[in-house]
Amino acid sequence: MLELNVKNETSRLRSVILGTAKSNGPVPKVEDCYDPKSIESVLAGTYPKEEDMILEMDAVETVLKKHGVQVYRPNIIEDCNQIFSRDIAFVIENKIIRANILPNRGREIEAIRYVWNQVDRSNRIVLPKECHVEGGDVILCDDYIFMGTYSGEDYADFITARTNMDAVIAIQELFPEKTVKAFELQKSNTNPRENALHLDCCFQPIGKGKAIIYKAGFLIEREYQWLVDFFGKENIFEITQDEMYNMNSNIFSVSEDVIISEKNFTRLNTWLRKEGFVVEEVPYAEIGKQGGLLRCTTMPLIRD
């Protein structure tokens, strides 16, 4: 049996599901894309090649194994994009919660069924179908659970709105001892520079009490300000619109002081090293063309 344990984003990682780019399928049609960044790369003719994405994900697996992490990969489904494992399920404490994701992505959960089945049945949670949630909108910070959401009346018009208030309430009921705090995110179906697809696209806590944040990703300024006050302004790395577009907040912590980051994030990586972090740089720019990066492709199962 798998004894799940995830309380935050930065404790020593022991076990993780890393997505796969194998048999990723053809370049999607624009109308089949789930986010504006994928649409942009399809229209520009720069949609990433499968072999390039496989190399990028293998580089991450190599780093994870170097740090003693057990890495699970999804079973391969022919012609199916299985890169973003964080979207299909997520772990809080000792429970694995199945994300109610876009209906045409339902097959992806079957590819990790072999992991799901290793968890005690009482700790496998399937939320009611009216609860929409994806793992990128769920960020753990010990006694707090931060959740990105969108509660506008036009929610249904946004394919980029992935987590609703029903899900926020359901998570609070599942973890009554935690403080669940929701943050309204800026959404756009068409402009990737004005769209925070998930909370981890504009905010992420890292080790040593620090955090990365993008102010304009938040719809309500006082919610952004709450996070700045919570971490302390001196502990926050503010990213620009271009850096948000390139996914600078979507890095991944292996421990309190080891971070996997994209090799082109020059300003961020320099700051991280100055703050005492070990930065493991990997190429991930091709993956990034689909609107997600390192945190999106990893789903932690056990942290110390």
> Could you read off the pLDDT of 216-250 as tens digits, one per residue?
999 999 999 999 999 999 999 999 999 999 999 99
Task: Report the chain's mean pLDDT, rounded to a whole number.
Answer: 93
Indicate the range of 89-103, 110-124, 201-215, 261-275 predicted with least confidence: 89-103
pLDDT in tens, 174-207: 999 999 999 999 877 677 788 878 999 999 999 9
The model's confidence at residue 78, banded by pLDDT at 50, 70 and 90, is very high
What is the Cα Rg of the chain in Å? 18
- Average pLDDT for 112-137: 94
More confident: 172 or 155 = 172
Query: Nearest 5°: phi and psi at 90?
Result: -155, 160
The model's confidence at residue 102, banded by pLDDT at 50, 70 and 90, is low
Indicate the range of 138-142, 155-159, 240-244 predicted with least confidence: 155-159
* Residues forming a β-bridge with 303: 13
Residue 158 has pLDDT above 80, yes or no: no
CB atoms within 10 A of CB 230: 16
Task: Output the six-digit token pair for 223.
Answer: 């919610």
β-strand 258-262 against 70-72: which pairing, if any? unpaired
Looking from the CA of 125 toward its CB, the CA atoms found within 13 Å total 22
The model's confidence at residue 125, banded by pLDDT at 50, 70 and 90, is very high
Measured CA to CA in angstroms, residue 14 lies from 87, 122, 149, 224, 281 at distances of 20, 22, 29, 31, 20
Task: Output the six-digit token pair for 100.
Answer: 């109610």
The model's confidence at residue 156, banded by pLDDT at 50, 70 and 90, is low
Residue 7, pLDDT score: 98
Token look-up 């005690």 returns 120
Q: Which amino acid is at 216?
A: A
More confident: 156 or 10 = 10
Domains of the chain as residue ranges with CATH = 13-303 (3.75.10.10)
